[in-house]
Chain A
Amino acid sequence: MTNLGIVPVLFILLIILLVVTLLQSKSYRTKLNQRPLKIFIIVYVAILAVAPIIYFILPKEEKQVLTDNGSEKLNLENKALREALFKNETASIDERFLIDEWTRTFKEKEIYLKMENPDEGEKVNIIVQTSDKANEQITGKLYRKNFIENYIYIPDKLNKPTIIWRNEKTMAVKNPTAKKLSYVTVSDKLNKGGFNNEESHSVVVVEKWDDDGPYYLLLTIPKDVKVWSDEGLRIYD
């Protein structure tokens, strides 16, 4: 909640002390005349009066805290994405989910899929598909579902997983590192504990499919290649 350290508190106290001393020593013999005082006050009031207008006029990219409806809609999209991936209906997937795509010539007869840092959780789900054509090529498509954290939809700011070819046969996936994001909210409300109103949200039921990490790596491998996988790697085929 309110996380004011001791230093700012002391700082504020110091300022107050200074101002009070200033007030006490000056109030008897203030040499500020009526006119400059009035001008000062009028300027301040004008600034305050114009501030809301400027605020509403200025172009801004303010994010909204998701409502229950909003997050449900995004979750449904995630569900649809997952189903489309597993049913191999990639054509029906919205382009915004696809964040990376690559092709690689692959002449080996087997492939090892490894996780570079498995202890950091399962953030990438790998779906392996075999292609009918024997074209000696591997294609990878990286999808990311709608990512919601703390009722905030974070579409494009996350770090991506990286793919490393240790050798011709071994592909390692490196989990993305956590991204630092800071959010600011300014509210008219006096007692704003958090940036969102937790009480206004219902408890979200986590379904099984929702357990997936946010990334899907769809690998298309020639049909005669054998796939070996590491533990700690989530592979669907």
Chain B
Amino acid sequence: MMTVIQCENLEKKFRKKKALQNITFQIEGEKITGLIGRNGTGKTTLLRILAGMTKQTSGTVTILDKTPFNNLFVSANSILINDQMQFPGSFKLQDILNFAPDFYEKWDAELATRLLQYFRLSPQSYHSDLSKGMKNTFNFIFGLATRCTVTMFDEPINGMDEAVRKDVYRALLKDYLAYPRTIIISSHFLDEMEHLLEDILLLDEGKVALHKSLDELREHAIGLQGPADVVKKWATGFEILHEKQLAGNQLYTVLKAQDCTFNEKQLLQEGISFIPVSAGDLCLYLTNTRVGGIDDVFND
């Protein structure tokens, strides 16, 4: 399988602030990877480096075996869709679509037109007149129709309502199945799009916290809930990712699964239940540096 994206010891500084450090990962073949992380963890910066829009401070990055910065080959075979995309003020959506084939050989005009129609975007309206959600819908359609080998979406669903989001996920999946390619989506809404993703790349404070397939991620942690003292007893010796005090002296603990095996029967007898941890929650726990939760702010 061909390595599409490869990063090694990637570092990016803005003046003295380190936006990215020690980023090492590789993405092979055609798959959809979710780029997950909290606000300000460097997702956008990473995507901009991958798209060749910004240069890294140190380390190496290759897309299709080429350094992306200022590289025409990479630019022709990749696209980054974000909500900062601007089109000339005098261009109607149709004008934008008309120009696209000049740049993207694999442009699917029919798909673009049909999606525009479906999402009720008038080809005669101006990009700058669209609402935030509609703008992002259009940008998404644009990104999908380019059929670029490496397609990156930075927070593509911001501002879209739930119905549109669902349709967008569906459209992405359908088009991906018909024309497999390497897709990276950064988003806060991991739960909603968990079904799309094969891989998760989790960033935390400018570093790679985790890069696993979704299946591996699901086995990465287990949640135990039951009487606090019993749960605590069982949890000793394991890495606790998250802990939450519940009503009635109950405790919910998320443990790093690693190679631990529990005797399920015994646990159940002691009043502890297994609670599966969703990928979204897990990512949240893995990147949570705060001591306690928001509730603790209000406690004395």
Contacts and interface: CB of A to CB of B under 8 A. Distances in A.
Interface string A7-35: 00000000000000000000111111110
Interface residues of B, number: 8
A30 B128 CA distance: 9
B25 to A, nearest CB: 38
Contacts of B90: 30, 32-34, 37
B95 A27 contact: no
Contacts of B128: 28-29
Contacts, number: 20
Interface string B109-131: 00000000000000000101100
Contacts of A33: 90, 92, 95
Contacts of A31: 89, 126
Contacts of A30: 89-90
Contacts of B95: 33-34
A210 B82 CA distance: 86
B274 interface: no
Interface in A173-231: none
Nearest to A36: B90
A23 to B, nearest CB: 12
Nearest to A30: B89
A31 B128 CA distance: 10
B91 interface: yes
Which range holds the interface residue count of chain A? under 10
Interface in B69-125: 89-92, 95
Contacts of B92: 33-34
13 contacts: A28-B89, A29-B89, A29-B126, A30-B89, A30-B90, A31-B89, A32-B90, A33-B92, A33-B95, A34-B90, A34-B91, A34-B95, A37-B90
Given A30-B90, A34-B90, 18 more contacts: A27-B89, A28-B89, A28-B128, A29-B89, A29-B126, A29-B128, A29-B129, A30-B89, A31-B89, A31-B126, A32-B90, A33-B90, A33-B92, A33-B95, A34-B91, A34-B92, A34-B95, A37-B90
B123 to A, nearest CB: 12
Contacts of A34: 90-92, 95
A28 B89 CA distance: 6
Contacts of B129: 29
Nearest to A38: B90
- 3 nearest A-B pairs in the assembled complex, by CB-CB distance: A30-B89, A30-B90, A29-B128
A166 B200 CA distance: 118
Nearest to B98: A34
Most B-side CB within 10 Å, residue of A31, A32, A37: A31
A30 to B, nearest CB: 4
A37 to B, nearest CB: 6
Contacts of B91: 34
Contacts of A32: 90
Nearest to B89: A30
B128 to A, nearest CB: 5
A33 B129 CA distance: 13
A95 to B, nearest CB: 67
A17 to B, nearest CB: 22
A121 B88 CA distance: 71
Nearest to A27: B89
Nearest to B126: A31
Nearest to B124: A33
A27 to B, nearest CB: 7
Contacts of A27: 89
A148 B121 CA distance: 74
Interface in A113-132: none
Interface in A90-142: none
Nearest to B95: A34
A127 B298 CA distance: 121
B294 to A, nearest CB: 39
Contacts of B126: 29, 31
A237 to B, nearest CB: 83
B91 to A, nearest CB: 7
A32 B126 CA distance: 10
A1 B124 CA distance: 54
A34 B90 CA distance: 6
A144 B283 CA distance: 106
Contacts of B89: 27-31
A33 B125 CA distance: 10
A29 B128 CA distance: 7
A99 to B, nearest CB: 64
Most B-side CB within 10 Å, residue of A27, A28, A32, A33: A33
Contacts of A29: 89, 126, 128-129
A37 B92 CA distance: 13
